[in-house]
Amino acid sequence: MYAILDIEATGGKVGEESIIEIAIYKFDGKEIVDQFISLVNPEKKIDHYVQKLTHITDKMVLSAPKFHEIAKRIVEITDNCTLVGHNVMFDYRMLKQEFERLGYNFEKEWIDTFEYSEVLIPGLPSYSLGKLCESLGIIVTDRHRASGDARATIALFKLLLDKDAEKIITKKTGLALPKKAHSKYQKLLEGLPNKVGIYYLYNSKMQLIYIGKSSNIALSVNKIFTSKTLRSSKLKRYTRSIKFEETGSEFLAAIKKNNEVINNQPMYNHKVVENKAYPFGLYFLESKRGYSRLEIGKNRKTEAVLKFKTKDKAKEILEKVIHDYNLCLQVNSGIKSENSCFKYKVNECKGACLKEEPKDEYNQRIEDFVALTKFPAETFLILDKGRRGIEKSFYLIEDNQFKGYGYYEYHQQIKSLEKIHHILIPIKETEEVVNMLKYFLYKISKNPNQVILFNE
């Protein structure tokens, strides 16, 4: 039996938040057998950003039951159930926190649909609940409200159970919260956000010893202090203070980390050499008479479409491109055979392997992919997520060179290059950043509104 849940909270520092809405659906694997949905009076103010996101106001929760008034119902509906949620650790932590305030130890096994979506449905552009449901055709009503998000999670969980031929979900037992760092490290962890960004570890002399990036800063730093790897042991031994910077975007976090590791060379980061060549590349082999193809190679003289640190990563991206553009696996793997490829047999290949598909049509699809990895103009902006509210981030490419990034809230701030330069945070262009930008352009290709061209 499963308890599918979603929780909305006041916002604020980790450990100080309170629940403002909860939805729990008891699910037997086929249908809902019980449900509990309620606003909750947190007895404190709701963060302004949370109010805008959820449309739950201080006035709405004023007459709602307090947590202690619904606690018994939550215990009853979750009895003998495994908790299921999307990024469920937040919801589970909030429940444990509220019950701890009542002196009750709330312990449950849990299943995270985010984790299993990445395993069972690989290659999607995003695994956030909204984007994931959009990719899968799952209708989401009342987004960012507990009941709406929980119902969407039920639909997603049903799909995952159907796709789970090896029963990896139902076999997983004995799950618990991530290990809690030793008490002597708790002071260091205080105030770290469950947000995407960069974190910086310093020693007793305030020397920067490590820079990390994460989609959840608090969780990643906690893992460092609970891990037993050699590097984690050294970081635990020498870290005396932690700073962080929220970025809002995982892509921006990756760019900033790369730039700052190059500039600072912290002793416990892997050494990053500016403009070092990536050994593996995805190469475009054009054919005028036959079928063009994509091929993985190493240190070739011709320019790669995309570059990679490892061959495995190159294979992963090639497989994604083959899927996205309905290409022939046999042609792009360089396998010569008189038989058709498996994708053709399941109607996912149009027959290039048997020379059935017109060459021009097939080659055009590969050229379309290659074009997406090239800069669309000499000067343009790429738009991305902001840190909160209506804020967004941007990346400026000017005269075919990456200049840096910035944040904005109003469109007039990015209407001209002059205004953009006023809010631009410069970052030096490197081979790695350019390669990251090319891949990002490919990833956002289905959303052309994220690119703004300038005609200078």
Domain assignment present for residue 272? The answer is no
Q: Where are the beta strands (DSSP E) in 59-188?
A: 82-85, 110-112
Could you read off the pLDDT of 159-186 as tens digits, one per residue? 888 887 777 787 664 334 455 556 667 7
Which strands, in side-by-side order, build the sheet including 197-202?
208-214, 197-202, 241-246
Number of residues written out for the chain: 456
Domain finish residue from 264, 288, 322: 264
pLDDT greater than 90 at residue 279: no
Question: Are 244 and 189 in contact, with CB atoms under 8 Å apart?
Answer: no
Could you read off the pLDDT of 363-372 as tens digits, one per residue? 999 999 998 8
- Nearest partner of 318 among 382, 370, 353, 279, judged by Cα: 370
Domain assignment present for residue 270? The answer is no
Domain finish residue from 203, 232, 264: 264
pLDDT (average), residues 356-368: 91
Range of the domain at 78: 2-171
Domain assignment present for residue 271? The answer is no
28 CB-contact burial (10 Å; exposed 0-12 / middle 13-18 / buried 19+): exposed
Q: How far apart are CA 248 and CA 287, in angstroms?
A: 42
Domain assignment present for residue 65? The answer is yes
Q: Which amino acid is at 6?
A: D
pLDDT greater than 60 at residue 28: yes
Do 386 and 367 have their domain in common?
no
Residue 334, both tokens: 């360089």
Q: How far apart are CA 302 and CA 281, in angstroms?
A: 10
Q: Which amino acid is at 435?
A: N
Domain assignment present for residue 269? The answer is no
Domain count, the chain: 4
Do 49 and 135 have their domain in common?
yes
**Domain CATH code at residue 243:** 3.40.1440.10
Do 116 and 227 have their domain in common?
no
Q: How many Cα atoms sit within 13 Å of 269 on the Cβ side?
A: 23
Specify the pTM.
0.57
Do 231 and 341 have their domain in common?
no
Do 86 and 155 have their domain in common?
yes
- Nearest partner of 125 among 440, 443, 437, 383, judged by Cα: 443
Do 429 and 404 have their domain in common?
yes
Query: Dihedral angle at the C-alpha atoms of 413, 418, 422, 424, nearest 10 degrees?
Result: 80
Residue 33, both tokens: 């057998």
Could you read off the pLDDT of 285-316 as tens digits, one per residue? 988 888 999 999 888 888 889 888 888 888 88
Q: Where are the beta strands (DSSP E) in 252-320?
A: 280-285, 293-298, 306-308
Which strands, in side-by-side order, build the sheet including 451-453?
425-426, 401-408, 392-398, 380-385, 451-453
Residue 425, both tokens: 């945070």
**Domain CATH code at residue 165:** 3.30.420.10
Domain finish residue from 372, 394, 417: 372
Do 165 and 99 have their domain in common?
yes
Do 133 and 197 have their domain in common?
no
CB atoms closer than 10 angstroms to residue 314: 24
